[in-house]
Amino acid sequence: MGLRESKKQETRQLISDCATRLFIEQGFEQTTIAEIAAAARVSKKTVTNYFPRKEDLALDHHEAFTEGLARTVAERGSGEEPLTALGRTFRTALQEHSPVVGFTGPAFARMVADSPTLTARLRELHDQREEALAAALTAAAPDPDPAIAPRAGAALIAAADRLLFRRIQELTLAGHTDDQIEATLIPEADHLRTLLAAALGNHPTGRWQSDTRGPTASAGRSPA
Protein backbone atom coordinates (compact mmCIF):
# COMPACT_ATOMS: atom_id res chain seq x y z
CA MET A 1 0.00 0.00 0.00
CA GLY A 2 1.42 3.38 -1.03
CA LEU A 3 1.60 6.43 1.21
CA ARG A 4 -1.40 8.07 -0.45
CA GLU A 5 -3.58 4.97 -0.04
CA SER A 6 -2.36 4.51 3.55
CA LYS A 7 -3.34 8.11 4.34
CA LYS A 8 -6.80 7.55 2.85
CA GLN A 9 -7.28 4.45 4.97
CA GLU A 10 -6.23 6.36 8.09
CA THR A 11 -8.67 9.16 7.31
CA ARG A 12 -11.49 6.71 6.67
CA GLN A 13 -10.82 4.92 9.96
CA LEU A 14 -10.64 8.22 11.86
CA ILE A 15 -14.00 9.33 10.49
CA SER A 16 -15.54 5.95 11.28
CA ASP A 17 -14.18 5.96 14.83
CA CYS A 18 -15.41 9.50 15.51
CA ALA A 19 -18.83 8.67 14.08
CA THR A 20 -19.15 5.52 16.17
CA ARG A 21 -18.25 7.40 19.35
CA LEU A 22 -20.82 10.11 18.66
CA PHE A 23 -23.51 7.62 17.66
CA ILE A 24 -23.06 5.74 20.92
CA GLU A 25 -22.98 8.91 23.00
CA GLN A 26 -25.85 10.77 21.30
CA GLY A 27 -27.78 8.21 19.28
CA PHE A 28 -27.64 7.64 15.54
CA GLU A 29 -30.59 9.83 14.57
CA GLN A 30 -29.45 12.69 16.80
CA THR A 31 -25.91 12.87 15.40
CA THR A 32 -25.26 15.03 12.34
CA ILE A 33 -22.67 14.74 9.57
CA ALA A 34 -21.42 18.20 10.57
CA GLU A 35 -20.72 16.98 14.10
CA ILE A 36 -18.84 13.96 12.78
CA ALA A 37 -16.80 16.15 10.43
CA ALA A 38 -15.91 18.50 13.27
CA ALA A 39 -14.87 15.64 15.54
CA ALA A 40 -12.65 14.17 12.81
CA ARG A 41 -11.38 17.63 11.78
CA VAL A 42 -12.36 17.15 8.16
CA SER A 43 -14.97 18.74 5.92
CA LYS A 44 -18.52 17.43 5.53
CA LYS A 45 -17.68 16.70 1.89
CA THR A 46 -14.79 14.50 2.99
CA VAL A 47 -17.11 12.52 5.25
CA THR A 48 -19.64 11.95 2.48
CA ASN A 49 -16.91 11.10 -0.03
CA TYR A 50 -15.81 8.22 2.18
CA PHE A 51 -19.30 7.32 3.39
CA PRO A 52 -22.07 8.29 0.93
CA ARG A 53 -24.76 7.06 3.33
CA LYS A 54 -24.89 8.02 6.98
CA GLU A 55 -25.77 4.42 7.83
CA ASP A 56 -22.44 3.30 6.34
CA LEU A 57 -20.65 5.27 9.04
CA ALA A 58 -22.18 2.94 11.63
CA LEU A 59 -22.32 -0.29 9.63
CA ASP A 60 -18.90 0.09 8.04
CA HIS A 61 -18.39 -3.66 7.57
CA HIS A 62 -21.35 -3.79 5.21
CA GLU A 63 -19.40 -4.89 2.13
CA ALA A 64 -17.72 -7.80 3.92
CA PHE A 65 -21.11 -8.68 5.41
CA THR A 66 -23.13 -8.72 2.20
CA GLU A 67 -20.46 -10.62 0.25
CA GLY A 68 -19.42 -13.04 2.99
CA LEU A 69 -21.66 -16.04 2.34
CA ALA A 70 -21.26 -15.81 -1.42
CA ARG A 71 -17.48 -15.58 -1.16
CA THR A 72 -17.37 -18.64 1.07
CA VAL A 73 -19.28 -20.67 -1.53
CA ALA A 74 -17.21 -19.36 -4.44
CA GLU A 75 -13.86 -19.93 -2.72
CA ARG A 76 -14.60 -23.23 -0.98
CA GLY A 77 -12.14 -26.09 -1.33
CA SER A 78 -12.36 -28.53 -4.19
CA GLY A 79 -15.04 -31.11 -3.43
CA GLU A 80 -16.24 -29.22 -0.34
CA GLU A 81 -20.01 -28.93 0.04
CA PRO A 82 -21.37 -25.37 0.35
CA LEU A 83 -22.98 -26.09 3.73
CA THR A 84 -19.73 -27.51 5.06
CA ALA A 85 -17.79 -24.45 3.92
CA LEU A 86 -20.39 -22.08 5.36
CA GLY A 87 -20.42 -23.90 8.70
CA ARG A 88 -16.63 -23.88 8.90
CA THR A 89 -16.42 -20.18 8.07
CA PHE A 90 -19.09 -19.25 10.59
CA ARG A 91 -17.38 -21.22 13.36
CA THR A 92 -14.11 -19.41 12.63
CA ALA A 93 -15.84 -16.02 12.75
CA LEU A 94 -17.58 -17.05 15.96
CA GLN A 95 -14.30 -18.02 17.60
CA GLU A 96 -12.73 -14.76 16.44
CA HIS A 97 -15.69 -12.79 17.82
CA SER A 98 -15.98 -11.07 14.45
CA PRO A 99 -18.25 -8.00 14.14
CA VAL A 100 -19.36 -9.33 10.76
CA VAL A 101 -21.38 -12.10 12.46
CA GLY A 102 -22.72 -9.82 15.20
CA PHE A 103 -20.06 -9.25 17.86
CA THR A 104 -20.28 -5.50 18.33
CA GLY A 105 -20.27 -4.94 22.10
CA PRO A 106 -23.27 -3.91 24.21
CA ALA A 107 -23.06 -0.13 23.60
CA PHE A 108 -22.99 -0.50 19.83
CA ALA A 109 -25.67 -3.21 19.84
CA ARG A 110 -27.94 -0.95 21.90
CA MET A 111 -27.31 1.98 19.58
CA VAL A 112 -28.36 -0.11 16.57
CA ALA A 113 -31.39 -1.57 18.35
CA ASP A 114 -32.56 1.92 19.34
CA SER A 115 -32.28 3.30 15.79
CA PRO A 116 -35.15 2.63 13.36
CA THR A 117 -32.90 3.75 10.50
CA LEU A 118 -30.10 1.31 11.33
CA THR A 119 -32.53 -1.50 12.04
CA ALA A 120 -34.06 -1.01 8.59
CA ARG A 121 -30.64 -0.77 6.96
CA LEU A 122 -29.55 -4.00 8.63
CA ARG A 123 -32.58 -5.76 7.14
CA GLU A 124 -31.56 -4.46 3.71
CA LEU A 125 -28.03 -5.78 4.20
CA HIS A 126 -29.34 -9.21 5.18
CA ASP A 127 -31.46 -9.20 2.00
CA GLN A 128 -28.42 -8.27 -0.09
CA ARG A 129 -26.43 -11.03 1.63
CA GLU A 130 -29.09 -13.56 0.64
CA GLU A 131 -29.21 -12.29 -2.96
CA ALA A 132 -25.43 -12.56 -3.30
CA LEU A 133 -25.52 -16.09 -1.90
CA ALA A 134 -28.25 -17.09 -4.34
CA ALA A 135 -26.13 -15.81 -7.22
CA ALA A 136 -23.11 -17.78 -5.99
CA LEU A 137 -25.12 -20.98 -5.61
CA THR A 138 -26.60 -20.52 -9.08
CA ALA A 139 -23.14 -20.02 -10.56
CA ALA A 140 -21.94 -23.15 -8.75
CA ALA A 141 -24.64 -25.23 -10.46
CA PRO A 142 -25.36 -24.14 -14.02
CA ASP A 143 -28.84 -25.13 -15.20
CA PRO A 144 -30.20 -26.30 -11.82
CA ASP A 145 -33.37 -28.38 -11.86
CA PRO A 146 -35.67 -26.86 -10.79
CA ALA A 147 -34.35 -23.38 -11.57
CA ILE A 148 -35.50 -22.07 -8.22
CA ALA A 149 -33.38 -24.56 -6.25
CA PRO A 150 -30.36 -22.27 -5.62
CA ARG A 151 -32.61 -19.41 -4.54
CA ALA A 152 -34.54 -21.73 -2.23
CA GLY A 153 -31.28 -22.97 -0.73
CA ALA A 154 -30.06 -19.40 -0.27
CA ALA A 155 -33.33 -18.42 1.42
CA LEU A 156 -33.05 -21.24 3.96
CA ILE A 157 -29.36 -20.64 4.64
CA ALA A 158 -29.86 -16.88 4.96
CA ALA A 159 -32.75 -17.37 7.38
CA ALA A 160 -30.51 -19.44 9.65
CA ASP A 161 -27.75 -16.86 9.27
CA ARG A 162 -30.07 -14.03 10.30
CA LEU A 163 -31.20 -16.01 13.31
CA LEU A 164 -27.62 -16.54 14.47
CA PHE A 165 -26.80 -12.85 13.97
CA ARG A 166 -29.85 -11.79 15.99
CA ARG A 167 -29.01 -14.37 18.64
CA ILE A 168 -25.56 -12.86 19.14
CA GLN A 169 -27.06 -9.39 19.39
CA GLU A 170 -29.72 -10.62 21.82
CA LEU A 171 -27.15 -12.24 24.11
CA THR A 172 -24.91 -9.17 23.88
CA LEU A 173 -27.75 -6.91 25.03
CA ALA A 174 -28.54 -9.37 27.83
CA GLY A 175 -25.06 -8.79 29.23
CA HIS A 176 -23.27 -11.98 28.14
CA THR A 177 -19.55 -11.78 27.45
CA ASP A 178 -18.18 -12.65 24.03
CA ASP A 179 -16.75 -15.90 25.39
CA GLN A 180 -20.12 -16.84 26.86
CA ILE A 181 -21.85 -16.05 23.58
CA GLU A 182 -19.37 -18.19 21.68
CA ALA A 183 -19.97 -21.12 24.03
CA THR A 184 -23.73 -20.76 23.63
CA LEU A 185 -23.70 -20.31 19.85
CA ILE A 186 -21.46 -23.22 18.90
CA PRO A 187 -24.03 -25.95 19.69
CA GLU A 188 -26.89 -23.78 18.45
CA ALA A 189 -25.13 -23.17 15.13
CA ASP A 190 -24.39 -26.88 14.83
CA HIS A 191 -28.07 -27.61 15.40
CA LEU A 192 -29.11 -25.22 12.64
CA ARG A 193 -26.57 -26.71 10.23
CA THR A 194 -27.99 -30.17 10.95
CA LEU A 195 -31.49 -28.91 10.13
CA LEU A 196 -30.22 -27.28 6.92
CA ALA A 197 -28.39 -30.42 5.88
CA ALA A 198 -31.55 -32.46 6.40
CA ALA A 199 -33.63 -29.97 4.39
CA LEU A 200 -31.18 -29.37 1.54
CA GLY A 201 -29.19 -32.57 1.49
CA ASN A 202 -32.29 -34.64 0.76
CA HIS A 203 -33.52 -32.38 -2.05
CA PRO A 204 -33.23 -34.48 -5.21
CA THR A 205 -32.88 -31.50 -7.52
CA GLY A 206 -30.53 -29.41 -5.40
CA ARG A 207 -27.69 -30.00 -7.82
CA TRP A 208 -25.73 -27.00 -6.49
CA GLN A 209 -24.75 -29.31 -3.61
CA SER A 210 -22.70 -31.58 -5.86
CA ASP A 211 -18.90 -31.60 -5.83
CA THR A 212 -18.77 -30.00 -9.27
CA ARG A 213 -17.25 -26.57 -8.95
CA GLY A 214 -18.99 -23.68 -10.68
CA PRO A 215 -17.39 -20.84 -12.62
CA THR A 216 -17.09 -18.66 -9.51
CA ALA A 217 -14.75 -21.17 -7.90
CA SER A 218 -11.82 -19.71 -9.77
CA ALA A 219 -12.65 -16.13 -8.89
CA GLY A 220 -9.85 -14.12 -7.33
CA ARG A 221 -9.77 -13.81 -3.58
CA SER A 222 -10.45 -10.48 -1.97
CA PRO A 223 -10.20 -9.51 1.71
CA ALA A 224 -13.34 -9.77 3.84
Buried b (16+ CB within 10 A) or exposed e, 164-178: bbebbbebbeeebee
Whether 209 shows a pLDDT value over 90: the answer reads no
pLDDT computed for residue 143 by the predictor: 80
Lowest mean pLDDT among 88-97, 107-116, 132-141: 132-141
What would the pLDDT profile of 27-71 be if each residue is shown by its tens digit? 999 999 999 999 999 999 999 999 999 999 999 888 899 999 999
Confidence of residue 118 (pLDDT cuts 50, 70, 90): very high
As a whole number, mean pLDDT of residues 176-192 equals 96
Alpha carbons within 13 angstroms on the beta-carbon side of residue 33 total 15
Mean pLDDT (the chain, rounded): 88
- Return the pLDDT at 200: 86
* pLDDT confidence band for 1 (50 / 70 / 90): low
Query: pLDDT exceeding 70 applies to what percent of the chain?
Result: 89
Yes or no: say if 156 and 199 are a contact pair by the CB < 8 Å rule.
yes
pTM higher than the cut 0.85: no
Report the alpha-carbon angle 58-99-27, nearest 5.
30
- Dist CA 48 CA 56 (whole Å): 10
Q: Report yes or no: 180 and 38 within 8 Å, Cβ to Cβ.
A: no
| Mean pLDDT, residues 184-199 taken together | 93
Q: Which domains does the chain have, with CATH numbers?
A: 3-58 (1.10.10.60), 62-210 (1.10.357)
